[in-house]
Amino acid sequence: MDYKKIANEILDLIGGSKNVATLEHCSTRLRFSLVDKSVVDVEKIKKIKGVMGVVDGSQFQIVIGNNVVEVYDILLKICPLSGNQGIEAKKDDRKWGAKLLEFIISVFQPLVPAIAGAGVLKSVLLLLSMFGLLKNV
């Protein structure tokens, strides 16, 4: 995987380093606080080889996967953030309830597939047990 190419393409499509107020990462995602989200080309970012998805919430997040640290390190080298620290992101006009709901959703959204998978597995085990194909332990 060409991490430098991925980092350069991401930086170009989010509006360059002047549009980045802060940059962080978690275990699988790059997390941007952007000055102006309207200049971001989300569809082109989704098509970059190595990008698994995009989440546009209170932070702009790009899902990279296990290689996020490598892309993050290159982004820090090519994206000088020191001059952007004082730039405030555009004012968020949403009510506090909408912001709270978005935060709660962003926390629990990654857990939904695991919960759904556990429910399906439990249903399959129950059906197997009902038809006598699985002995109760």
Catalytic choice (1, 26, 52, 127):
26
- Cβ-in-10-Å burial (0-12, 13-18, 19+) of 106 comes to middle
Burial letters 16-48, b for 16+ CB under 10 A, else e:
eeebbbebebeebbbbbbbbebeebeeeebeeb
26 part of the active site: yes
CA distance linking residue 4 with residue 20, whole number of Å: 18
Contacts of 74 (CB under 8 A, 6+ apart): 3, 4, 7
- Residue 65, Ramachandran bin (φ over 0: left; ψ between -120 and 50: alpha; else beta): left
Catalytic residues: 26
